[in-house]
Structure 1
Amino acid sequence: MEALPTYVPMYIPVTENDETFYSEGFPVRFYKSDGTDWVANFKPGWTDLKEIIEFENSEKLLVIACGTCYLMNPDDTKPIEVFGVGYSEVFKASNDRFVLQDQTDLTIIEPDGNHWDTERISWDGLSEIKVENNLVSGLAYNPMHDSDEWVEFKYDLDSKTLTGGSYYSFENKKPWWKIW
C-alpha cells in the first residue's frame, strides 16, 4: 500500500512503546493464520527504506518502516521486537542472512530473525557497500581536520572480524591535554 486505506477497518498503530500514532507511516496488511486480516500502520524511522522480509522457515516477518525494523508475527498486532531507526540499505548475504546498513555500522539479520550489530566501522557514513557470500566490503567516511577521506573496510560475517574502516578508539592513548 502507498497510503493508509480509507475503505477498510481502522488501522492499528504499531510503535516501539505502544504509543498512540495517528500520522501516516508505513501501512501493511497482514493475513492471520485463521484467514482474517488486519492493517498495521508502522511508525517510520529516519530514512526512505521500506521493505518486508519473509524468513523461510519461520512465521516471523521483518518490516522495515523508513529505517526502523519491526520483527512481527502476522497473527499478533504487537511487535516481537523493534530496533534501529536509520537503516538506509538492506543486502542479501550467504546462509539466508540479511545485512542492514546504518550510518556507522551494520546489523546482521539471521535466518530465524535474530540479529546482531557489528562494531562501529565509520565515524560518519558508509558507502559503496558490497556483499559477497560472507564478506561485506565498502567505504567508511573519515572526517579529518585537513582532509575528508573514505577508507576501505571489510567485515567477515562468519568470524565477526573487521579489517580497515575509519573509526578508531582513543582508548589507551596518552591524552593531548592535562588538567592542572
Structure 2
Amino acid sequence: MTEKRYEILNALPTYGPMYVSVTDNGEPFYSEGFPVRFYKTDGTEWIANFQPGWTDLKEIIAFENTRNLLVVACGTCYLMNPNDTTAIEVFGVGYSGIFKASKDRLVLQDQTDLTIIEPDGTHWETERISWDGLAEISVENSFVTGVAFSPMHHSDEWVEFKYDLDTKTLTGGSYYSFENKKPWWKVW
C-alpha cells in the first residue's frame, strides 16, 4: 500500500490549526491560493496555502524514489517534502501544461520555453523557443513538437518547432538569437 502524503483541498479549512503560507520569497500570503493537506511520516498533518502563479494549472506529482512532491499551484512549481513547511525550491510562474516524456521525465509548458523535470526532481529549461506563446504541444518519446507564436508586422503567424530532450537541440521556433548575425541595416 502506498503511503498517503497529501490531499488537495477545495478550500482552506474554517477551523483547526492555522495554515502555513508557502511562497517563493518566504513572505506571508493571506489570500486563499492552492490549499493542500500534507501528511508527515510521524503521523501528524499540516495545511499549506500555496501562493498561486498566473495560470489555472493545479497539480501534484509524486516522485518515485523520494518523498518529495512537485506542487504546481496555478503555474508556479514548489518542490516540497511533506515533512517540511518550507519549499525546497520554487520556480516558474506561468506553466500552463504538463506532459509525460521518455525516461520518466515531465515537460512543463510555459509561454516562451519548456522546463524539463527529471525523475529525481531536478529540472532544466530549454532555450527560448517563442516570442510570446506555445501551442499544440505534443510529446513522443524524447521529442517535443508544437508551434511557437511569431508577431509579424503585417500578420501574426505560428512557426513549427521540434525539441530533442536527449540532445537538448531545438529545430524551428519563432525566437531567433541575433548574436553573430549581420544587422538588417547593413547591406554589404
Q: Return the alpha-carbon distance in structure 1 between the equivalents of residues 182 and 170 of structure 2.
A: 25
- Percent same amino acid at aligned positions? 80
CA shift, 1:175, in A, is 3.0
What secondary structure does 2:153 align onto? coil
The answer to whether residue 109 in structure 2 is matched with residue 111 in structure 1 is: no
- Paired residue type of 2:101: A
Provide the aligned C-alpha RMSD in A: 1.1
Cα separation, 2, equivalents of 1:138 and 1:158: 17
- Matches of 1:130 and 1:109, distance apart in 2: 16
* Residue 4 of structure 1, aligned match among 7, 12, 28: 12
CA-to-partner distance for each residue in 1:94-138, whole Å, 9 max, x for gaps?
Answer: 111100000000000000000000000001100000011111000
Determine which of 75, 86, 104 is the counterpart of 1:67: 75
User: Is the partner of 2:102 in helix, strand or coil?
Assistant: coil
**Greater mean alpha carbon deviation, residues 37-46 or residues 142-151:** 142-151
Q: Which of the residues 44, 52, 58 maps onto 1:36?
A: 44
- In structure 2, what is the equivalent of residue 19 of structure 1? 27
Question: Which region of structure 1 is more displaced relative to structure 2, 118-127 or 2-11?
Answer: 2-11
Give the distance between the partners of 1:111 and 1:6, measured in 2 at CA: 36
Distance in 1, Cα, partners of 2:69 & 2:49: 15
Aligned to 2:89: 81
**Where does residue 133 of structure 2 map in the other structure?**
125
Where do 5+ consecutive residues of structure 2 fail to align? 1-8
The total of aligned residue pairs comes to 178
Q: Which runs of 5+ in 1 are unaligned?
A: none
Question: 1:174 — aligned with what?
Answer: 182
- Structure 1 residue ranges (4+ consecutive) displaced by more than 4 angstroms after TM superposition: none
Cα deviation code 1:25-51 (max 9, x no counterpart): 000000001111000000000100000
Structure 2 length normalisation: TM-score? Answer: 0.92
